[in-house]
Structure 1
Amino acid sequence: MNPFVFSCITSHGTEIIPELQGQSPERMSLTRRNMTEIGLEMEKAKPDAIIVLTPHGTRIAGQFSITDSENMEGTIEENDIVFTLKRRVDRELARKIAEHANELELPVGLINYATASGPYSSLSMDWGVMVPLRFMPNVPIVVINPTRELSYEKHLEFGKAVRNAVLTSNKKIGLVASCDWSHTHNENGPYGYHPAAQTLDEQVLQIVKQNQLEKLQGFDEEFVEAAKPDGIWQALILAGAIPEEERHIKLRSYEAPTYFGLLCASIY
């Protein structure tokens, strides 16, 4: 049985946030519209907490990092507009995930900042978390950052630890895999152009449509480096947490209006 009340794969381009769309609201309008629908689905599921998998949070070399602060807060500035967000952290759930990861002998670090507890215990919230949470209900969160020093297989195993923690919890939990895809679609982007971007994203689309997320671990290292996706690791954790036979994916949209690919999917 799928242990999550609702799960999804979302994008995290900052202009998806309605407040930050600026003078070109059409640029990410397809993704923005589907993120809104996904947020409504999460709201309907009424989670007690939401786990967010992000590639842009606090990284620990060779370890999965899990937030264990009282709060998280962040700021994004885009198109001369400032957007801020603050959420409580479900520390009980965070520590339960770490315990189950330790049982599977996976390297994991619980991270905090400044003080052990209280208002000063607050970690920075990255855009990979802030963008999807803008559309989600205001409930406590746990943020997890994968580590690219470990194999794809370890990310699937870590997903099992997340699953086990949720199964032993008495709470209703939602799961968000915050994933953007290839970052070399446009020569004017920060990583330049490479034809691998379109090829990889087309393959990802087929993998999502066919509900075969485990196939993401089959991508060649040089191919990944050329295309520069940042979604593989979070999607594999989700795949480990929700096995294929329990996972039903509804692909909502894909677009690449700038230099990186944006994909939205609901998972039931």
Structure 2
Amino acid sequence: MALLAAYAVPHPPLIVPAVGHGQEAAIADTIAAYREVARRVAAHRPDLIVITSPHAPLYRDGFFIADTPEETGSLAAFGQPDERVTTRTDLPFAEDVAARLHRRSIPSAGAPASMADIDHGTFVPLHFLEETINLDSVTVVRMGLSGLSEADHRFLGRAITEAARALGRRCVLVASGDMSHKLKEDGPYGFAPEGPKFDRTVAEMFAHGNLEGLFGLDAALCDGAAECGLRSFQIMAGALEATGEPFASELLSYEGPFGVGYAVAAFEIEDAPESTEEEAAAEIVREEDREIGGARGGSPAWPPHPGDDPIVALARASVESIVAQGTVLPLPTDAPEELTGRRAGAFVSLHKHGQLRGCIGTIAPVRKSLAEEVIRNGVAAATEDPRFAPVRPEELPFLEYSVDVLGEPEPVDNLEELDPTRYGVIVTRGHRRGLLLPDLEGVDTVFDQIAIAKQKAGIRPDEQVHLERFEVVRHTAGGEPRRS
């Protein structure tokens, strides 16, 4: 199994009657929608509930993932210490997600002792879920947001879905987050025109399922609205995207009587059967895999044909193994010395009908050999690129492969030392680091190259960065698609 559904919910403590003392009556629609979410979650019979919360431990350069067997919390901070909840953590799942982040060089950590209790952003959803689910019968994994880029939050969502699929979990994701805190002059945070605009924009996205719109929103709009849920919703968007399945979207309610926006939305994965054409294409791929693998006595694309670059052939074999068979390609015993006897960073790029379909790599070597680097980055390019859904088996005959092997980065003292056709560039500011390969279509100047690398790292255009350059050897021989 994998992700079954995802829900966006708010977390006002006063929605709990013991805290609201009757004020909760003013958000009756939110309460009704919350109860509908709880009913739907119970109907899915999950064994795992993941809750992302803005009020869980927040790290600048990594994500909090619960790492203790059990978590407890209360609403003591809101005057109600007797309102308590206890959950069990799915530690293997938490560790799997963390490992996927670490392979992407994204740190994760548990909670410091001072922040070990379940936060109210998690508590409020659990309060409603307890009405329909015995929390002893499910595990809960609490996760936080971070100061990292939108792409990293999207990747965390993808990692959640991929881990659930790999471990066979029936998983439901709850993205906890309030909307704008600037809706009313007499509200606790005052009024700003960006507040209602932000809420209208996001509510419209929820209603129509346009979750791609959650990425790239104007920073001034988000800051002016004083929202707290956007990154949580971006994680949710990444998780839904990684299913590779269509989903039905529904805005169940929206209210803001206290000056803070509360939206409840549901995103249900649709079990859409494959069309006859898709089934036929998938069978062709399976037949090709059987024929090629049988003829060569090994993985679908290994050993390489005469004239094929073994680096490219290994990337193709890695992708076809993980997509068609669901297994990571073992290191071939007959891999040449150029692959097994050296270490280097490498990027595996996939194109389909001339359009990028996935590209993941490592700036510096992190594995024992270039061969292992190519295998692992092939898997990541096909299944973990946060910009795309995982590659499907029926797409394999149409993929084009290339592998860029990186030289050692060297510092750059001035822009005259850069050349976007010859050198790739690395920009670094603190913990944020972005890379752009050389000789890319549409990247004609050094300024274009640096600007795009900054954007990829979540660095503002006006921020100063440390620059490095590197040379690349691009391998393409034998990477042509099998079918045009």
TM-score between the two structures when normalised by the length of structure 2? 0.51
Unaligned runs of 5+ residues in structure 2 are 269-484
Residue 127 of structure 1 aligns with which residue? 120
How far off is 1:94 after superposition?
Answer: 0.8
Aligned-pair CA distance for 1:152 = 1.2
Q: After the TM superposition, which segments of 4 or more aligned residues of structure 1 sit over 6 Å from their partners? A: none
Alpha-carbon distance in structure 1 between the residues aligned to 2:52 and 2:79: 28
Deviation per CA, 1:96-124: give whole Å up to 9, x if none: 1101112233232244649xxxxxxx921
Question: Take 1:144 and 1:59, find their aligned partners in 2: how far apart are those partners?
Answer: 9
- Residue number in structure 1 paired with 2:178: 180
Q: Aligned partners of 1:33, 1:19: CA distance in 2, in Å?
A: 17
Question: What corresponds to 1:49 in structure 2?
Answer: 48
Q: Does 1:11 align with 2:10?
A: yes
Displacement of 1:189 in angstroms is 3.2
- Once the two structures are overlaid, the 10-residue window that deviates more, 41-50 or 153-162, is 153-162
> C-alpha separation between the residues in 2 aligned to 1:15 and 1:202?
23
Partner of 2:139: 140
**Equivalent position of 2:35 in the other structure:** 36
Equivalent in the alignment of 1:117: none
What is the deviation of 1:91?
1.2
After superposition, residues 108-127 of structure 1 pair within 5 angstroms as 108-111=108-111, 113=113, 123-127=116-120
**Residue 95 (structure 1) shift:** 0.7
CA contact (8 A) 1:183 1:261 kept: yes
Answer whether contact 2:14 2:23 (CA < 8 A) is retained.
Answer: no
Instruction: Give 1:245 deviation, angstroms.
Output: 5.1
| Partners of 2:245 and 2:205 in 1: CA distance | 15
How far 1:216 moved relative to its partner?
1.5
Which position in structure 2 is the counterpart of 1:118? Answer: none
* Identical counterparts, % of pairs: 26
Residues 169 and 18 from structure 1, CA distance in 2 versus in 1: closer, same or farther, beyond 3 angstroms?
farther
- Per-residue deviation, residues 44-103 of structure 1 (Å, max 9, x unmatched): 111111100000011222111101012211121588544221111111111111011122
Partner of 1:119: none
- How has the CA–CA distance of structure 1 residues 170 and 123 changed in structure 2, closer, same or farther, with 3 Å as cutoff? same
Contact 1:52 1:143 in 2 (8 A): yes
Q: Output one character per residue of 1:191-219: Cα deviation in whole Å (capped at 9) or x when no partner.
A: 22111100110011111112111211222
Aligned pair count reads 259
- State the alpha-carbon separation in 1 of the partners of residues 23 and 148 from structure 2: 39
Query: Per the alignment, do residues 78 and 27 of structure 1 end up closer, same or farther by CA in structure 2, a change over 3 Å counting?
Result: farther
Greater shift after overlay, 199-208 or 133-142?
Answer: 133-142
Q: What is the rounded CA distance, in whole Å, between the counterparts of 1:6 and 1:202 in structure 2?
A: 23
Name the CA distance, whole Å, in 2 between partners of 1:4 and 1:217.
21
C-alpha separation between the residues in 2 aligned to 1:108 and 1:79?
A: 29
Instruction: Give the match for residue 69 of structure 2.
Output: 70
CA deviation profile, 1:156-180 (whole Å, cap 9, x unmatched)? 1221111211110122111100011
For 1:17 and 1:250, locate their aligned partners in 2 and report how far apart those are by CA, in whole Å.
24
Structure 1 residues 116-142: Cα deviation after superposition (integer angstroms, max 9, x where no partner):
xxxxxx921011000011111212210
Greater mean alpha carbon deviation, residues 251-260 or residues 14-23? 14-23
Q: Partner residue of 2:190?
A: 192
- What is the alpha-carbon distance in structure 1 between the residues aligned to residue 151 and residue 24 of structure 2? 39
Distance in 2 (alpha carbons) for counterparts of 1:173 and 1:102: 22
Which residue type is aligned with residue 73 of structure 2?
G
Residue 92 of structure 1 corresponds to which residue in structure 2? 92
Give the corresponding residue for 2:267: 267
Could you tell me which amino acid in structure 2 is paired with residue 253 of structure 1? S
Distance, in Å, in 1 between the alignment partners of 2:80 and 2:7 is 28
Q: Equivalents in 2 of 1:91, 1:262: separation in Å? A: 31
What is the distance in 2 between the residues matched to 1:7 and 1:161?
14
For residue 232 of structure 1, what is the aligned residue in structure 2? Answer: 230
Residue 258 of structure 1 and its aligned partner are, at CA, apart by 0.5
For the residues of structure 1 that align with 2:111 and 2:74, how far apart are their CA atoms? Answer: 20
Q: Tell me, what secondary structure is at the counterpart of 1:124?
A: coil
Matches within 5 A, 1:221-260: 221-243=219-241, 246-260=246-260
Distance 1:94 1:112, change over 3 A: farther
1:162 aligns with 2:135: no
Q: Following the alignment from structure 2 to structure 1, what is the Cα–Cα distance between the partners of residues 100 and 79?
A: 43
SS for the counterpart of 1:251 is strand
| Residue identity in the other structure for 2:126 | L
* CA RMSD between the two structures: 2.1
- 2 CA distance for matches of 1:51 and 1:227? 27
Aligned mates of 1:132, 1:209 — CA distance in 2: 21
1:25: Cα distance to partner?
A: 3.6
Tell whether the 8 Å contact from 1:68 to 1:112 is kept in structure 2 after alignment. Answer: no
